[in-house]
Amino acid sequence: MRNNPDGTEIELLCVIVNFGLGSKIMKFSKQSGMRGGTIFLGRGTVNNRILEFFDLSDIRKEIVLMLGEKTIVDNTLEELNKKFHFDKPNHGIAFSTSVLSVLGTKSIESNGINEEKRGAEKTMYNAIYVVVDKGKAESVIDAAKKAGARGGTIINARGSGIHETGKLFSMDIEPEKEIVLILADDQITSPITSSVREKLEIDKPGNGIIFVQSVNQTYGLR
């Protein structure tokens, strides 16, 4: 396992907030020492019976990804939480995951090995990623909710696996995909993955992929 030499550990900070807040999060994080980040759009779900009846439970979200040293990430997370109150309902969520190596950024010096520090703090949450064909994200969330998940964020994406690629007329195409990001407690992670796996028949070729990342710190999950 490769990591850094000088003991600096790199983490990925991920913040999911309502549309329009992304730039503010980024600006604020830079004040806390982060060097930059990437923002993209997603859709989140709201748990509300009435809204679900009217099919209005979708809400636009922004997802901010930022890389930084562990100490800075921890500090930023704390500051962000103070400022944006992730602990209150519907104020967004933030979490950090470990990153093995980073290339291409001058501000984070890292090109070597670091000891595996996993286990130093106990991971309680996991980030589950499900990549499926466009239109199937809703059923992924349904399946996950049945297994105990609180909700999820849907990100529009595109890409092609080995089972699909092609050219329509004179344009090269990549099929549309949806990525579903679900944060879940350690205990319910495997029920969720197996529920999704069963419902969407992930094991059949070309039906999508699931992977799970462990999360170091989370704010905003209840």
Q: Contact residues for another protein (CB under 8 A)?
A: 18-19, 22, 39-41, 46, 48, 51, 54-60, 62, 90, 135, 138-139, 158, 168-176
DSSP calls for 51-96: HHHTT--EEEEEEEEEEEEHHHHHHHHHHHHHHH-TTSTTS-EEEE
In the complex, minimum distance from the CB of residue 90 to another protein, in angstroms, rounded to a whole number: 6
Instruction: Pick the closer one to another protein by CB: 172 or 203.
Output: 172
Instruction: Pick the closer one to another protein by CB: 6 or 55.
Output: 55
Instruction: Pick the closer one to another protein by CB: 90 or 111.
Output: 90
Q: How many CB atoms lie within 10 A of CB 105?
A: 13
In the complex, minimum distance from the CB of residue 28 to another protein, in angstroms, rounded to a whole number: 17
In the complex, minimum distance from the CB of residue 14 to another protein, in angstroms, rounded to a whole number: 16
Instruction: Pick the closer one to another protein by CB: 146 or 158.
Output: 158
The region that residue 89 occupies, defined by phi over 0 for left and psi between -120 and 50 for alpha, beta otherwise, is beta
129 in Cβ contact with 196 (< 8 Å): no
In the complex, minimum distance from the CB of residue 30 to another protein, in angstroms, rounded to a whole number: 15
